[in-house]
Amino acid sequence: MELLDGKKVSTEVLNEVKEKLSKLDKKLGLAIIWVGNNEASSIYIKNKLKKCEELGIDGKLYHLEENTTEEEVINLIDKLNNDDDVNGIILQSPVPKQIDIINCFNKIKPSKDIDGFSNISLGNLVLGKPSHISCTPKGIMKLLDYYHINLEGKNVCLINRSIIVGKPLFNLLISKNATVCMCHSYTNNLKEISKNADIVISAVGIPKFITKDMLKDGAIVIDVGISRVDGKVVGDVDFANVLEKVSYITPVPGGVGPMTVAMIFDNILENIK
């Protein structure tokens, strides 16, 4: 069994980003829009801004009140779209119920859509055209590539169908000639599918959801889930339970999470020609 060490790989990626940024004539800018006061969001944003500082990126937070209207969010996005000092825009999820987050994503200029959630970014991904790729799927693919895991002909059980993880990752996997079964809460025979998969990727947010009886010998397991149990961060996979059956596995924390953060800045760098 070998750990897919996202902390190690993300550090290497960020060191490369920092080196490239140091050679630029201008300082890049990242704008983060946060509507409301979601506790988890505050932690994610703090980490992103800290990483901006470490890399020499001008990170700015636009914190809006819980009762902010969708129109006000869009007006801010328009302003940032037209600001040449802003190279990337992130609209932090979740947003209050009065805001249509997909509509807001689609107002972000494609070149500044660092998260890759707009219709244009996702559409380009499906068509195989250049675009920013959602950070978690992109991070997973970079992690697999780093460890020389060949996806060609592999059977993949992907448990998630969101635009944040499942749908973009599905397209990235099939572009590498994997055979992908996308599963979700309505999948009836999940155990049968996962047990026949070479690679199992879970992003359901249920602690210890993936157990060894759901895996075949030598399976590769990518754990995207994040939950808190007794004050500790855990993933979807019953880690200790499955170790004897897997060939590769991502830890939580220290697996996919650091890769997601690293890809934000990798995407910003793509804007620089």
Rounded distance between C-alpha atoms, residue 8 and residue 186, angstroms: 36
Q: Does residue 98 have an active-site annotation?
A: no
Task: Output the CA torsion sign for 171, 197, 154, 220.
Answer: positive
Q: Per DSSP, what are the bridge partners of residue 179?
A: 155
Q: Does residue 92 have an active-site annotation?
A: yes
Task: Output the CA torsion sign for 175, 265, 118, 136.
Answer: positive
Question: Which residue from 215, 210, 214 is spatially nearest to 239, judged by alpha carbons?
Answer: 210
Rounded distance between C-alpha atoms, residue 113 and residue 123, angstroms: 13
Catalytic residue among 5, 48, 142, 223: 48
Are 2 and 253 in contact, with CB atoms under 8 Å apart? no
Distance of CA 127 to the CA centre of its chain: 20
Dump the DSSP string for 87-113. -EEEEPSP--TTS-HHHHHTTS-GGGB
Residues in the chain: 273
Rounded distance between C-alpha atoms, residue 50 and residue 102, angstroms: 27
Catalytic residue among 107, 112, 113, 115: 115
Q: Does residue 50 have an active-site annotation?
A: no
Catalytic residue among 51, 92, 236, 245: 92
- By annotation, the residues acting in catalysis are 48, 92, 115
